[in-house]
């Protein structure tokens, strides 16, 4: 029932946002909500021949907000967003491709429920077209196998749609991607730090960046203290829960000089340091993990990002992916150490960008100046 209510609000919101829409446009929105996909017309894409041309105001209709949530895990990123950010159109295209998924049973079930909601709203007279017109549109679409469809001619004339459909979890990272695109256009090689607490989404963000940019990723988890280093004095030091000295020597120093990195990964299971691993620096190099923004390391970064997570969401994520013994380690030991480090060294406010894990709309991402407490 709650899902049906949400779908009703979404459909009525689409009618209010686009008064000239037709039933086909709602069908298009519901399919995008279930499976992603969706883009702008090919003739529009052909006109985008360079990063400079993408910002031409004449190409895109004024859409506000530029990031439009759909009814589910997806949203439309209107190309107007490219005018107000340094995000490259290549990156946006890639996000859209990563977001699309093959139709699955759960997606078809979602679509069936959404269509039932659409027909119910039409029968109640809440849509700007008749029940018969809506039923006919659904009938024809069902007979065709629910294909991906274009907007109606009325919609194109009124709104000139030009957008990509991306997953909301990706859209949350758009400000970060825009900053990376700008830096890559200015420098041959950059280093970006992804800082934040446990379960804030750092590893997930790093994995996405690796797919988009084919970058190098270094994990602070590979530099936890060896058993003999875990003294009481070291663990009471803010940010002392990691061997930052070894990380600086083996990774960050050669990386800033553009030299090949040879580092030894700490294996938490065997509690030993493994044989050296060799990585050649790339255009984009990511340092992912808590303690990456220690004051001794921070000057090496071209961009630093703090991924924040609420205690509630953090608790849910940790319980979901860990057994009870490991959960206890997080809640009793590791998270208190992280929070002490964040507070004592003012980590959050020293980062260039803050992304809230509980927020999927980039328009609501906080800047360091306006950000609240980390926890």
Distance, CA of 313 to CA of 358 (rounded, Å): 7
Q: Specify whether 214 is located in the same domain as 345.
A: yes
> Do 21 and 160 have their domain in common?
yes
Whether residues 217 and 327 share a domain: the answer is yes
Q: Examine the domain organization and report whether 229 and 151 are in the same domain.
A: no
One domain, residues 157 and 188: no
Q: Of the residues 149, 168, 187, which one is the last residue of a structural domain? A: 168
Domain annotation covers residue 370: no
Please indicate, yes or no, whether residues 59 and 123 belong to a single structural domain of this protein: yes
Asked which of 143, 168, 193 is the last residue of a domain, the reply is: 168
Q: What 3-state DSSP class applies to 262?
A: strand
Interatomic CA distance for residues 174 and 169, integer angstroms: 10
The token duo for 107 is 């997606």
Q: How far is CA 224 from the centre of its chain?
A: 27
**Could you tell me if 151 and 280 lie in one domain?**
no
Residues 41 and 15 placed together within one structural domain of the fold: yes
pLDDT (0 to 100) of residue 97: 87
Other CB atoms within 10 Å distance of the CB of residue 273: 16
Quote the crossing angle between the two packed helices 105-123 and 23-35, to the nearest 10°: 150
From residue 47, give the alpha-carbon distance in Å to each of 50, 59, 153.
9, 8, 21
- Mean pLDDT (10-residue bins), the chain, 375 residues: 75 96 96 77 44 45 82 92 91 89 78 96 96 97 91 93 91 96 97 96 95 96 94 92 96 96 94 94 97 97 96 93 92 92 96 84 38 32
Closest by CA to 193, choosing from 265, 266, 298, 296, is 298
Task: Let me know if residue 191 belongs to a domain.
Answer: yes
Q: Which of 117, 143, 168 is the last residue before a domain boundary?
A: 168
- End-to-end alpha-carbon separation of the chain, Å? 34
Q: 210 and 123 in one domain?
A: no
- DSSP letter string over 128-165? SS-HHHHHHHHHHHHHTTS---PPPHHHHHHH---EEE
Residue 321 lies in a domain: yes
Note down the domain range covering 114. Answer: 2-168
Residue 371 lies in a domain: no
Tokens 């139709």 label which residue? 103
Which of 207, 209, 206, 190 is CA-nearest to residue 283? 190
Is 369 a domain residue? no
Distance CA 368, CA 372 (A): 8
**CATH number of the domain where residue 332 is located:** 3.40.50.300
How many Cβ atoms are within 10 Å of 104's Cβ, its own excluded? 11
373 belongs to a structural domain: no
161 and 187, same structural domain?
Answer: no
Number of domains making up the chain: 2
* Within a domain: 74: yes
Domain assignment of residue 340, yes or no: yes
Same domain, 117 and 216: no
327 and 219, same domain (yes or no): yes
Q: Which of 124, 128, 141, 177 is nearest to 30 (CA)?
A: 141
Distance, CA of 54 to chain centre: 22
């Amino acid at each position: 029932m709650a899902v049906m209510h949400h779908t009703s609000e979404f459909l009525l919101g689409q009618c209010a946002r686009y008064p000239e829409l037709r039933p086909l446009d709602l069908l298009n929105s519901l399919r995008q909500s279930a499976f992603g996909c969706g883009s702008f017309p090919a003739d529009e894409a052909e006109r985008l021949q360079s990063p400079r041309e993408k910002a031409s105001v004449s190409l895109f209709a004024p859409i506000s907000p530029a990031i439009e949530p759909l009814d589910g895990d997806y949203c439309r990123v209107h190309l107007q967003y490219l005018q107000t950010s340094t995000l490259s159109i290549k990156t946006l295209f890639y996000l859209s491709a990563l977001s699309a998924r093959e139709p699955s049973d759960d997606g078809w079930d979602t679509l069936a429920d959404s269509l039932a909601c659409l027909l119910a709203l039409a029968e109640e007279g809440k849509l700007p077209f008749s029940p018969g017109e809506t039923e006919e549109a659904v009938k024809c679409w069902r007979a065709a196998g629910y294909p991906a469809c274009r907007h109606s001619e009325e919609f194109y004339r009124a709104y000139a749609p030009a957008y990509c459909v991306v997953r909301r979890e990706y859209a949350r990272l758009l400000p970060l991607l825009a900053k990376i695109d700008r830096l890559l256009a200015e420098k041959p090689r950059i280093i970006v730090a992804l800082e934040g607490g446990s379960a804030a989404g750092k590893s997930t963000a790093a994995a996405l960046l690796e797919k988009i940019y084919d970058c190098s990723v270094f994990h602070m988890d590979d530099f936890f203290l060896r058993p003999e280093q875990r003294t009481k004095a070291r663990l009471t030091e803010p940010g002392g829960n990691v061997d930052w000295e070894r990380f600086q020597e083996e990774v960050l120093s050669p990386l800033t000089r553009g030299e090949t990195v040879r580092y030894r990964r700490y294996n938490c299971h065997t509690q030993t340091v493994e044989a050296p691993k060799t990585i050649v620096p790339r255009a984009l190099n990511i340092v992912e993990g808590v303690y990456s923004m220690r004051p001794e390391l921070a000057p090496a970064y071209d961009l630093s990002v703090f991924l924040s997570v609420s205690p509630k969401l953090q608790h849910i994520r940790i319980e979901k992916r860990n057994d009870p013994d490991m959960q206890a380690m997080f809640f009793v030991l590791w998270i208190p150490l992280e929070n002490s480090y964040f507070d004592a060294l003012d980590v959050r406010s020293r980062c260039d960008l803050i992304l809230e894990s509980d927020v999927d709309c980039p328009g609501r991402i906080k800047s360091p100046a306006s950000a609240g407490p980390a926890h």
